[in-house]
């Protein structure tokens, strides 16, 4: 036999273990993680829609209120979206009366962002909606199970070659 045929036979024999355990969609961790993520998103988006807010807008509002991100650059970096996208989100949220932008008196290139009272109150309500979504899907898990799940998800994400930035 020629070398290429022997290599092919060896390759096929090494792949035989795949045939021993049939692989189905439902046996894939990725399938279940994706299904769970979509269910989380759908539930949270439904809750946000009542307030006329998207998940991306929630991320901006939360970053400002809960993480002290008060410049377009710090928001874009924190949320992991480009500066053009953050500008569009800020424009929309400002038109809704949820935030204000002010140029720094010492450096006009610097824009400071702060929530309006309406934005602050809405962000607090949205945080409650976020917690309700999390509570719905973690019901039945104790705190240690929830902590372990988050650790496992972070560990799995660390194996990714792609940085996931889509909110």
Determine contact, residues 126/61, Cβ cutoff 8 Å: yes
User: pLDDT digit string (tens) for 107-160?
Assistant: 888 899 999 999 999 999 999 999 999 999 999 999 999 999 999 999 998 898
Strand ranges inside the chain, DSSP E: 99-103, 111-115
Q: CA-CA distance, 105 to 83, in Å (whole number)?
A: 22
Q: Where are the domains of the chain?
A: 33-132
- Overall CATH class of domain 33-132: mainly alpha
* Closest listed residue to residue 153, CA positions, set 3, 48, 67, 36: 36
- The whole-model pTM stands at 0.76
Closest CA to 99 of 61, 68, 127, 131: 61
State mean pLDDT over 73-85: 92
Q: pLDDT tens across 24-60, in order?
A: 777 888 899 999 999 999 999 999 999 999 999 999 9
Question: Whole-angstrom Cα distance, residue 131 to residue 89?
Answer: 23
Q: What is d(CA 43, CA 58) in angstroms, rounded to the nearest whole number? A: 14
Q: Which tops the pLDDT comparison, 87 or 14? A: 87
């Amino acid at each position: 036999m020629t070398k290429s045929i022997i290599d092919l036979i060896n390759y096929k024999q090494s792949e035989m273990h795949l045939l021993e355990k049939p692989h189905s969609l439902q046996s894939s961790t990725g399938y279940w993680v994706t299904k769970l993520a979509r269910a989380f998103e759908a539930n949270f988006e439904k809750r946000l829609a009542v307030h006329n807010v998207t998940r991306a807008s929630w991320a901006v509002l939360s970053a400002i209120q809960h993480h002290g991100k008060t410049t377009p650059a710090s928001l874009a970096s924190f949320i992991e979206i480009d500066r053009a996208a953050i500008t569009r989100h800020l424009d929309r949220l400002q038109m809704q009366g949820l935030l204000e932008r002010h140029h720094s008196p010492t450096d006009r290139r610097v824009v400071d962002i702060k929530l309006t009272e309406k934005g602050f109150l809405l962000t607090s309500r949205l945080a409650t909606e976020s917690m309700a979504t999390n509570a719905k899907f973690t019901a039945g898990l104790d705190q240690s199970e929830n902590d372990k799940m988050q650790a496992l998800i972070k560990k799995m994400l660390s194996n990714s070659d792609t940085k996931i930035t889509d909110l």
